[in-house]
Amino acid sequence: MAGFEFGLEAFLADPGVGGRVGLVSNATGIDRNGTHVAYRLAGHPRLRLTRLFSPEHGFWSDAPDGEAVGHAVHPRLGAPIVSLYGERKIPSPADLADLDLLVYDIQDVGVRFYTYISTLRNVIDAAAPLGLPVHVLDRPNPVGGFEVEGPALTAGFASFVGHLPVPLRYGLTPGELAAWYASTLPNPGPIKVWPCAGYTRGAIFANLGIPWVKPSPSMATPATALFYPGTCLFEGLNASEGRGSDAPFQILGAPWVDPDRWLASLRPTLPGNVTVRPVEFRPTFAKFTGEACRGIRLDTGSGHLDGAVGVGLRVIQALMRSHPGKVEFPGRPNLDRPFFDLLAGNSWVREGLLADLDAGQLEERARAECQAFRRDRERFFLYR
């Protein structure tokens, strides 16, 4: 897209910007030429980069899913890196005491359980009582800014993979989401969003002329992000979501899967812009490491995938119908409910699948749950 620029550029060009900075970022925080925001801040005449903060997967976005990350020091800049995915997930007052502003610059994927927005919330919450300004340098939403998909987050199901009370796919950029969240707080601190230039809600990431840097080890391409809102629910099953394969969240399966049976049940339910074929794979990490798995691969030629959550539900339902009694919803240590429920943000999706309710019924309930949010979010649109 001609003329596109990240919010970073407007922030750096503003003559009023200055002071001691804490930067919340990771490997995705680059400009269109590949220079990281940390170096841009460190070289700025009115800013002093004082401290770095990293979310899940660490500052270089290479730590495995769910693995605690320790504190570190940036090898070139010498700045301390405070991990917000280790011994704590929220900055302490001491972490923020010597700062004049916090800058958040991370490429997100627009889905509730992708934990960078949980870190965004924690940063806003930590800064508010100190009156510390938070500057959000905006970035595109690679799954689009129009589509909103439920379900909503049910009370009692909040967790770090469901930390903000928004639908699974919320249709906002990080900056818009920050402004929305600040509006829900009784005493919000100062929030400043720096919009992208030359960006529209319907923009396709591949057309923006900017590099894709993996936000996490398994978010391999923009196409991965398109399927992620629905197929990440496989993390809560005893089947692989494709981590450790050539196409995470597009390749799905397990050693016990019969792809032909699965495909026969699934194909009639998929939208026309989604193709599916049988695959064999051997994950190099995560579930079934080193084991021969069989399953399916989903693809699309579209730049946006409407109904991605629905696609995930239909894929799960077809697997359950074609493999009776094989699909399970296991728990995890220290959880009092199946992990699937934390991803979905409720128990009714799992219960509906187990009761063999049609996926269309589940989608309709999810759609109804997010109607109010779909309307309310428009007050925070920065792009049309």
pLDDT in tens, 209-228: 999 999 999 999 999 999 99
Burial of 174 (0-12, 13-18, 19+ CB in 10 A): buried
In this predicted structure, the answer to whether residue 108 has a pLDDT above a threshold of 80 is yes
Query: Does pTM surpass 0.85?
Result: yes
pLDDT in tens, 277-302: 999 999 999 999 999 999 999 999 99
In this predicted structure, the answer to whether residue 1 has a pLDDT above a threshold of 60 is no
Tell me the mean pLDDT in the region 236-243. Answer: 98
In this predicted structure, the answer to whether residue 2 has a pLDDT above a threshold of 70 is no
- Phi/psi-derived region of residue 156, left when phi > 0, alpha when psi is between -120 and 50, beta in every other case: left
pLDDT bracket for residue 167 (50, 70, 90)? very high
Report the chain's terminal Cα–Cα distance, integer Å.
15
Mean pLDDT of the chain: 97
Q: What is the dihedral of CA 48, 62, 208, 308, to 10 degrees?
A: -130
Ordered domains of the chain (ranges, CATH):
7-214+374-380 (3.40.50.12170), 222-346 (3.90.1150.140)
CA distance 182 to 246: 39
